Amino acid sequence: MDIVYIRDLRIETIIGIYDWEREVKQEVSFDLDMAADIRRAAQTDDIQYALNYKSIAKRIISFIQASEFLLVERMAEEVANIVLVEFSVPWLRLRVSKPGALRGSQDVGIIIERGEKP
Q: Can 54 be counted among the known catalytic residues? A: no
Q: Read off the DSSP letter of residue 101.
A: S
52 burial (CB, 10 Å; 0-12 / 13-18 / 19+) is: middle
Identified catalytic residue from 25, 54, 58, 98 = 98
The residues facing 11 across adjacent strands are: 28
Measure Cα distances from 117 to 2, 5, 37, 38 in Å: 10, 15, 12, 15
Active-site residues, by number, are 98
